[in-house]
């Protein structure tokens, strides 16, 4: 399995640096323990698991959504595999525990009212994502259509039809946590020596998705399960909790240190008049 994955590393589509880091991370994490567990991933991807780790009844720090008008912003769109300048619908989402997040919506939503209705699917749920995984989000872009969510430092992009499916599965909050990790923690931790050493020590991956992209997805994939085990142990069935604890003990310890680290976050942005 790991040999096959190594052959599938998309070096042609990655920069030389990215590719060599990917191969290095794979080779670091595929030494003896992993080889004996070849092909043995407990889960396919966190997005496909049924665990309800953030519950509807969990508190949210979301306060209100203010419409800021139309403005030109660049939005990366997976449907086009390109970034373009769009006259987006711009809102600011206000929270009681962090600065406001810019919410921008593709003009395809047509009216401010429709754009607000769409934005409201995410805002309370964003406020349910633990601050440690969310405070780096500066801009949250919303497209129509049905593509996988994606994120980079400070930015998250989602697609309305995919979000509808996640809501039907009661899983949108967990997806937002995953993307929040990309926006907030990836830059500091995904290639940090501490994380790479933990991957090497554990020698296995929790999900096939993390194993396929250990440099890009393992932190976000593992963080959700580790957070649940550490802070809401009753929300994953005992048998699965045991599997997760056995598969990634070193990485769970790193997540615990991240959870305990004091956060240095600017104060919340005061909501403007008419924020609702």
Binding site for Zn ion (CB under 5 A): 217, 220
Which lies closer to Zn ion via its Cβ, residue 94 or residue 134? 134
Minimal distance, residue 193 CB to Zn ion, in Å: 21
Q: How far is the CB of 207 from Zn ion (least distance, A)?
A: 10
Shortest Cβ 178–Zn ion spacing (Å)? 5
Q: Is there a contact between 88 and 107 (Cβ–Cβ < 8 Å)? A: yes
Q: Which residue is nearest to Zn ion (CB)?
A: 220
Backbone CA torsion sign across 13, 16, 18, 19: positive
CB 213 to Zn ion: min, Å: 8
Integer Cα distance of 241 and 58 in angstroms: 21
How many other C-beta atoms are found inside a 10 Å radius of the C-beta of residue 200? 17
Beta carbon nearer to Zn ion, 136 or 271: 136
State in angstroms the smallest separation of the CB of 235 from Zn ion: 21
Q: What is the DSSP string of 173-203?
A: HHHHHHHHHHHHTHHHHTT-HHHHHHHHHH-
When the beta carbons of 86 and 220 are compared against Zn ion, the nearer one is 220
Smallest gap from residue 138 Cβ to Zn ion (A): 18
3-state helix vs strand vs coil in the chain, percent to 5: 50, 20, 35
Q: How far is the CB of 229 from Zn ion (least distance, A)?
A: 19
User: Residue 212: what are its φ and ψ, rounded to 5°?
Assistant: -70, -30
Burial of 214 (0-12, 13-18, 19+ CB in 10 A): buried
Which helix (H) or strand (E) is 1 found in, with range? none
Pairing of strands 150-152, 101-105: unpaired
Tokens of 162: 């995919």
Of the two residues 45 and 230, which places its CB atom closer to Zn ion in the complex? 45
Q: Between vectors from CA 202 to CA 185 and to CA 128, what angle results, nearest 5°?
A: 35
CB closer to Zn ion, 173 vs 217: 217
Q: Nearer to Zn ion by C-beta: 202 or 217? A: 217
Between 100 and 185, name the residue whose CB sits nearer to Zn ion. Answer: 185
């Amino acid at each position: 399995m790991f040999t096959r994955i190594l052959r599938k590393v998309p070096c042609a589509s990655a920069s030389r640096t990215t590719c060599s880091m990917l191969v290095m991370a794979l080779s670091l994490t595929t030494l003896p323990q992993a080889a004996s567990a070849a092909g043995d991933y407990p889960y396919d991807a966190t997005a496909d698991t049924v665990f309800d780790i953030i519950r509807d009844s969990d508190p949210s720090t979301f306060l209100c959504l203010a419409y800021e008008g139309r403005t030109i912003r660049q939005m990366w769109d997976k449907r086009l595999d390109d970034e373009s300048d769009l006259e987006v619908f711009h809102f600011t989402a206000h929270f009681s525990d962090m600065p406001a997040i810019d919410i921008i919506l593709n003009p395809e939503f047509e009216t401010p009212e429709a754009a607000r209705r769409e934005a409201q699917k995410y805002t309370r749920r964003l406020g349910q994502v633990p601050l440690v995984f969310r405070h780096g989000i500066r801009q949250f872009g919303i497209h129509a259509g049905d593509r996988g969510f994606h994120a980079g430092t400070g930015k998250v992009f989602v697609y309305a039809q995919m979000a509808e499916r996640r809501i039907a599965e009661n899983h949108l909050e967990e997806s937002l946590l995953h993307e929040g990790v990309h926006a907030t923690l990836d830059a500091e931790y995904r290639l940090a020596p501490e994380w790479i050493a933990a991957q090497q020590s554990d020698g296995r991956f929790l999900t096939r998705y993390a194993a396929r992209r250990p440099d890009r997805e393992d932190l976000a994939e593992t963080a959700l399960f580790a957070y649940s085990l550490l802070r809401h142990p009753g929300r994953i069935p005992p048998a699965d909790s045991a599997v997760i604890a056995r598969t990634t003990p070193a990485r769970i310890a790193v997540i615990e240190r991240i959870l305990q680290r004091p956060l240095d976050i600017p104060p919340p942005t005061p909501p403007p008049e008419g924020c609702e």
